[in-house]
Amino acid sequence: MKPDQPQPHRGDDTESAGHAKLLYALAAALDPIEPQPTRRQALRQRLDARVADSAARHAGLRIHRATQGEWQQFKTGVAMKFLNRGPNGNSVLVLLTAGANLPVHRHRWAEEGIVLDGALYLNEHMLARGDYHLSLPGSRHERITAPQGGIVFLRGTSLGGRWAMLELLAGLLPHRGSPATTQHVDEGLWTEIAPGVQQHILRPDGACHSRLIRMAPRTRLPRCDHDRDEECMMIEGDVFFGDVLMRTGDYHFAPAGSRHGPIESETGALFFVHGAAEF
């Protein structure tokens, strides 16, 4: 059974309608061409070699998809997914249902947070998607609340490790330490690092920086060789890191010594990166 021939939209001119009919007629007349066995084998060998080369080049990358893993509840209305264990705290996703809160706690390490969905309240500060907070070591959080629910990416947290209970107990001590700093995604200094690509440095930290990268549709950054560990958390959009497609909510860890091909986005994207000072 042949598909119905497409009809031109009202208002199309005669030339456009004739062009559409011609394309339909050509497509209907095309038959598949079976390649010769030697040609098919050569194509298969080239494809296998390309797949093997891609796998070798991306072997060091650790990918955690947004749909991967189960949420582990650790208090009423709050659950987490573990992403990575680092020397200065862990990287995790935290899910808060409507009305839930994170209790008062004190930070052992510098903790960075990026809101991925919903809205969170840190004292009087409301943080929405793409907004960032930094709590320095020794500082104490008051409760973090999510009246309508939300998801946040935390880097440098004790959650998922043996220090979590000690941070809660230390939160009972009255000393507050340095207050948390917050930055909204549309505030601060955005600088262009390639045509259509901007970065916003959130936290310079010696040889490593935390930054937001914003890519317009159909933009590109060159290949990246990692001389230091790098973490990336997708906030919005789609990006190819070499041959690896990263979508909203995906996370990847690239250890020192690994590399990936050019970073490209067809649709545009916003993502958080912690890695070498020179991106």
Token pair of 93 as six digits: 């996703």
Superfamily for domain range 72-183: Jelly Rolls (2.60.120.10)
Q: For 122-269, where are the alpha helices, taking DSSP H only?
A: 164-170
Low-confidence ranges of the chain (pLDDT < 50): 1-3, 5-6, 8-9, 163, 165-166, 168-174
State the pLDDT at residue 153: 95
Integer CA distances (angstroms), 50 to 66, 67, 234, in order: 27, 28, 27
Token pair of 90 as six digits: 């862990």
Domain with CATH 2.60.120.10 in the chain: 72-183, 186-276
State the pLDDT at residue 164: 52
For residue 23, how many C-alpha atoms fall within 13 Å in the half-sphere facing its CB?
A: 9
State the pLDDT at residue 170: 38
Residue from 113, 95, 102 nearest 151 by CA: 95
Query: Is the CATH number 2.60.120.10 carried by domain 186-276?
Result: yes
Is the sign of the CA dihedral 105, 209, 160, 154 positive or negative?
positive
State the pLDDT at residue 15: 67
Q: How many CB atoms lie within 10 A of CB 20?
A: 16
**To the nearest 10°, the Cα dihedral for 205, 206, 210, 215?**
150
Strand order in the sheet with 239-241: 219-221, 263-265, 239-241, 244-246
